[in-house]
């Protein structure tokens, strides 16, 4: 998932015990897909499963389509254009353990969201509050970057009396990593960008429509 060329020595070392069967990207930016070609030089017969603009992409699944990893893990492609137009979040469910995770790239962060480089508030609102919000609440979130401390600073400005934000701040202060430590359900409680229909966010932004609230929140975060 979003492999860097720096992991190539590890992949080569583990190649006897682990079989690399595919590269998956969340979007085409170099820090997520820039290692594809070098890894393919060492492992030439594997597919690159990603959005249409990723380096060396060989397959782009349609929105909602699925494939399997091993016997138990089902992967679903969730197209979430905005940060880039080829952004895809990958929802994975282990049928054996009933564990659920979603790899969100630069679309959803813990307590935040990605910049709208190729999209707008309407697209990000759909990505977060229609597509990702529809996942089971216990789905663990794995973003592409660890930006939680910065995101918390913004959340305190716009929603500081929210107890869920206060819990997130405490965890971020006490832990270096938050990826995989929070769920979709928790994001809906503390992430302002997943609360665009709330009266609080309407008041903060001065807007009433969720997509307008999303756009203003992003402008506020960019300026913070």
Q: What mean pLDDT value characterizes the chain?
A: 96
Catalytic residue from among 31, 41, 137, 138: 31
Mean local confidence (pLDDT), 174-195: 98
Q: What is the pLDDT of residues 115-156, one digit of tens each?
A: 999 999 999 999 999 999 999 999 999 999 999 999 999 999
Lowest model confidence (mean pLDDT) among 2-11, 77-86, 106-115: 2-11
State yes or no: pLDDT of 4 exceeds 90. Answer: no
Catalytic residue from among 29, 79, 86, 159: 29
Note whether 132 and 102 are within 8 A (CB).
Answer: yes
Confidence label for 81 from pLDDT (cuts 50, 70 and 90) = very high
Give 121-173 as a DSSP string.
HHHHHHIIIIIGGGS-TTPEEEESS--HHHHHHHHHHHHTT-HHHHHHHHHHH
Confidence label for 3 from pLDDT (cuts 50, 70 and 90) = confident
Q: Buried b / exposed e across 183-193, counting CB within 10 Å, b at 16+?
A: bbebbbbbbbb
List of domains in the chain: 1-60 (no CATH), 66-223 (3.60.15.10)
Active site residue 94: no
Active site residue 190: no
Highest mean pLDDT (candidates 8-22, 34-48, 104-118): 104-118
Active site residue 32: yes
Active site residue 106: yes
CB-based contacts of 192, cutoff 8 Å, min separation 6: 154, 155, 158, 159, 201, 204, 217
Confidence label for 11 from pLDDT (cuts 50, 70 and 90) = confident
Catalytic residue from among 53, 94, 99, 145: 145
Note whether 187 and 110 are within 8 A (CB).
Answer: yes
Catalytic residue from among 27, 28, 79, 190: 27
d(CA 155, CA 157): 5
Catalytic residue from among 28, 79, 83, 190: 83
> What integer pLDDT is reported at residue 22 of this predicted model?
94
Active site residue 31: yes
Active site residue 83: yes
Confidence label for 191 from pLDDT (cuts 50, 70 and 90) = very high
Catalytic residue from among 28, 106, 159, 190: 106
Catalytic residue from among 2, 28, 32, 79: 32
Query: What is the token pair recorded at 112?
Result: 């935040």
State yes or no: pLDDT of 216 exceeds 90. Answer: yes
Q: What is the pTM of this model?
A: 0.94
């Amino acid at each position: 998932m979003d492999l860097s060329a720096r992991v190539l020595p590890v992949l080569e070392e583990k190649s006897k015990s682990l079989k690399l069967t595919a590269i998956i990207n969340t979007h085409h930016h170099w820090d997520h897909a820039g290692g594809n070609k070098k890894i393919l030089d060492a492992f030439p017969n594997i597919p690159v499963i990603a959005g249409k603009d990723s380096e060396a992409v060989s397959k782009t699944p349609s929105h909602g389509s699925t494939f399997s990893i091993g016997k138990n893990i089902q992967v679903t492609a969730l197209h979430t254009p905005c940060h880039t137009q080829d952004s895809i979040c990958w929802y994975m469910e282990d049928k054996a353990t009933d564990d659920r995770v979603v790899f969100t790239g630069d679309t959803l962060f813990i307590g935040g969201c990605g910049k709208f480089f190729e999209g707008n508030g309407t697209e990000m609102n759909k990505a977060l509050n229609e597509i990702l919000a529809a996942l089971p609440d216990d789905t663990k979130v794995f973003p592409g970057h660890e930006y939680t401390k910065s995101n918390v600073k913004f959340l305190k400005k716009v929603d500081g009396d929210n107890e869920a934000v206060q819990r997130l701040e405490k965890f971020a202060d006490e832990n270096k990593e938050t990826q995989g430590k929070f769920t979709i359900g928790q994001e809906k409680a503390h992430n302002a960008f997943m609360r665009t229909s709330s009266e609080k966010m309407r008041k903060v932004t001065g807007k009433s429509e969720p997509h307008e609230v999303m756009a203003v929140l992003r402008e506020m975060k960019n300026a913070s």
